[in-house]
């Protein structure tokens, strides 16, 4: 039996790590997770005596992981280190460094299990591990994908030790992938990497999903379920069947993400009879040109408005996702995003600065067009001030930033929009406005969940102090 210690930065339940842990435990191994600085990690190493340290990164936190791994390598040179997640997958060469021994591209269930067996027994052979290995100079670059999700065990909900009273929503995934190919989205790049012949979406059997939910309901105090599928309603018949059965058998409050063009009256009617707390859907930009030609979202204003009309008619609460600082975005486009939200009337808009992730189609195009300097890509990290100022070159960037700062207030209180539009057109952003934006954002996050707000505030503050 081997022991794996996972390193997580964000300290919110992480389904990726929980899935990997479940696969390890099913095979008789042990796994634990920790976070924090080298002191906390060293204490966890003392306590659990792992045979392998496993780092899981987003594109937005991989520098934190690389720093911690370098410290671990210095302190425990004999402990092998594996990296997996989005950044190692798409920024592979940045991880072929001294502190990394093994690197997994794509989905890690099988390769991680094989590595643990290899470290214990020397089998399978290194070249069959489907990993990049330091011992052979990181030569191969295999990409891994789980074709049959039903072969996986349920995620390990004991791993993050929040106990029965988990303050977060319980996340569950019923599918992987999305049929669309938006140019900014990691789904699109995952599919490119997986190669032809890979299904666009892999679904779990509904029976298995419902059994997992029943078990959750029986064993935990669940106040809320969050379906984290990329697009919950992309298969209409499946969604309707899942909802029908969910309403009868599970009947817990829940949230999920939809695409406006897949939303139908049948779905709305069923949702109105369920304990649906909140629906999220992406507008991204109020400009159809940007949304469809630049972002390849394949979603018209008419489809967005039709979905919103249905949501309102059936009294379903919803928020919209909006991105700011896009390549080729003008101030007029940003103003259109507010104005489309006025017509859509969400509970609130969720606003994020567009982050050009390395390797993604839109980033590649922006680099070709001279709009993004590739040397600046490592700056896309989860840090408060970097969530404000875009690295995309744009003459209107500063004004768009101001529209973003006041987007919540402008949408929720439309009467304030003429004032904020004037402000955005005339005043340059500064620290005062950024602070205001952070406070407003935090206020809205508190409405979704105080614990999540606390985590965001804590990380933002700690990182600011560290500078």
Report the DSSP pairing between strands 175-177 and 201-203: antiparallel
Of the pair 156, 310, the CB lying nearest ligand B12 is at 156
Q: Is 187 in the site for ligand B12 (CB under 6 A)?
A: yes
Cis-peptide, bond into residue 186, ω within 30° of zero: no
Q: Do 398 and 329 contact (CB within 8 A), yes or no?
A: no
Residue 270 contact partner, candidates ligand B12, ligand SF4, none, CB within 5 to 8 A by sort of partner: none
- Applying CB under 6 A, what is the total number of residues that bind ligand B12? 36
Per-residue string for binding with ligand SF4, 272-291, x by CB under 6 A?
A: ----------x---------
Does residue 175 touch ligand SF4 according to CB under 6 A? no
Q: How far is the CB of 228 from ligand B12 (least distance, A)?
A: 4
From the CB of 201, what's the least distance to ligand SF4, in Å?
Answer: 9
- Pick the binder of ligand SF4 from 100, 172, 185, 350 (CB under 6 A): 185
Q: What is the dihedral of CA 23, 26, 27, 29, to 10 degrees?
A: 90
What is the rounded CA–CA span in Å between residue 27 and residue 140?
A: 26
Q: Is 320 in the site for ligand SF4 (CB under 6 A)?
A: no
Q: Which is nearer to ligand SF4, 53 or 182 (CB)?
A: 182
User: Counting contacts by CB under 6 A, is residue 180 touching ligand SF4?
Assistant: yes
Q: Which of 50, 85, 282, 359 binds ligand B12 (CB under 6 A)?
A: 85
Provide the 8-state DSSP code for 415.
G
231 makes contact with ligand SF4 (CB under 6 A): yes
Chosen residue from 89, 99, 187, 322 binding ligand SF4 by CB under 6 A: 187
Per-residue burial over 169-205, b if 16 or more Cβ lie within 10 Å, else e, is bbbbbbbbbbbbbbbbbbbbbbbebbeeeeeebbbbe
Closest separation between CB of residue 463 and ligand SF4, Å?
27
Which helix (H) or strand (E) segment is 43 a member of?
Answer: helix 38-48
* Order of strands, sheet of 318-324, starting from the edge strand that comes earlier in the sequence: 170-172, 225-227, 254-258, 276-284, 318-324, 348-353
Structure tokens at 48: 């659990």
The structure tokens listed for 185 are 């989205």
Q: Is 12 a binder of ligand B12 (CB under 6 A)? A: yes
What is the phi/psi pair of residue 349, to 5°?
-90, 145
Residue 55: what are its φ and ψ, rounded to 5°?
-100, 135
- Window contacting ligand SF4 (CB under 6 A); options: 155-163, 177-185, 350-358, 406-414: 177-185
Number of H helices, E strands in the chain: 18, 14
**Residue in the shown chain whose Cβ atom is closest to ligand B12:** 84
Closer to ligand B12 by Cβ: residue 402 or 456: 456
Region binding ligand B12 by CB under 6 A among candidate stretches 81-89, 211-219, 290-298, 367-375: 81-89
**Closest Cα partner for 156 from 233, 221, 219, 81?**
219
Q: Nearest distance from residue 388's CB to ligand SF4, in Å?
A: 22
Residue 355 interacts with ligand SF4 (CB under 6 A): yes or no = no
Contact string 373-412 vs ligand SF4 (x = CB under 6 A): ----------------------------------------
User: If we measure between CA atoms, which residue out of 131, 232, 225 comes closest to residue 176?
Assistant: 232
**Short-list 72, 70, 60, 79, CA closest to 9:** 60
Residues forming the site for ligand B12 (CB under 6 A): 9-10, 12, 14-16, 19-20, 54, 56, 58-61, 82, 84-86, 104, 107-109, 111-112, 171, 173, 185-187, 228-230, 352, 355, 357, 382
């Amino acid at each position: 039996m081997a022991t794996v210690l996972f390193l997580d930065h964000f300290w919110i339940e992480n389904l990726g790590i929980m899935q990997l842990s479940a696969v390890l435990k099913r095979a008789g191994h042990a796994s634990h997770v920790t976070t924090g600085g080298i002191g906390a990690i060293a204490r966890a190493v003392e306590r659990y005596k792992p045979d392998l340290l496993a780092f899981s990164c987003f594109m937005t936190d991989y520098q934190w992981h690389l720093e911690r791994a370098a410290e671990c390598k210095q302190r425990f040179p004999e402990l092998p280190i594996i990296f997996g997640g989005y950044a190692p997958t798409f920024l592979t060469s940045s991880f072929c460094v001294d502190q990394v021994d093994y690197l997994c591209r794509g989905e890690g269930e099988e390769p991680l299990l094989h590595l643990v067996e290899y470290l214990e027994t020397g089998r399978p052979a290194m070249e069959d591990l489907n990993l990049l290995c330091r011992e052979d100079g990181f030569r191969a670059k295999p990409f891994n994908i789980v074709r049959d999700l039903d072969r996986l065990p349920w995620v390990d909900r004991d791993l993050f030790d929040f106990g029965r009273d988990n303050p977060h929503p319980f996340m569950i995934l019923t599918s992987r992938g999305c049929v669309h190919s938006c140019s900014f989205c990691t789904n699109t790049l995952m599919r490119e990497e997986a190669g032809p012949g890979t299904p666009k979406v892999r679904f779990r059997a509904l029976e298995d999903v419902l059994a997992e939910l029943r078990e959750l309901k029986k064993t935990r105090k669940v106040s809320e379920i969050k379906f984290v599928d990329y697009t919950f309603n992309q298969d209409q018949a499946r969604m309707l069947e899942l909802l029908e059965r969910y309403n009868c058998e599970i009947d817990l409050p829940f949230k999920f993400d939809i695409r406006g063009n897949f939303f139908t009256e049948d779905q709305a009617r069923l949702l109105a009879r369920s304990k649906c707390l909140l629906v999220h859907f992406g507008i991204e930009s109020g400009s159809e040109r940007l949304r469809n030609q630049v972002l390849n979202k394949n979603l018209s204003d008419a489809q967005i408005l039709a979905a919103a009309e249905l949501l309102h008619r059936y009294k379903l609460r919803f928020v919209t996702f909006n991105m700011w600082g896009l390549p080729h975005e003008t101030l007029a486009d940003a103003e259109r995003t507010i104005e489309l939200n006025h017509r859509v009337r969400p509970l609130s808009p969720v606003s994020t600065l567009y982050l050009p992730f390395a390797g993604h189609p839109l980033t590649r195009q922006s680099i070709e067009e001279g709009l993004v300097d590739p040397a600046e890509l490592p700056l896309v990290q989860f840090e408060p001030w970097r969530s404000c100022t875009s690295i995309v070159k744009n003459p209107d960037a500063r004004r768009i930033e101001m529209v973003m700062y006041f987007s919540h207030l402008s949408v929720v209180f439309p009467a304030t929009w003429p004032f904020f539009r004037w402000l955005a057109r005339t005043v340059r952003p500064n620290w005062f406005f950024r602070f205001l934006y952070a406070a407003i954002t935090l206020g809205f996050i508190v409405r979704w969940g105080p614990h999540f707000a606390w985590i965001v505030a804590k990380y933002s503050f700690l990182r600011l102090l560290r500078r």
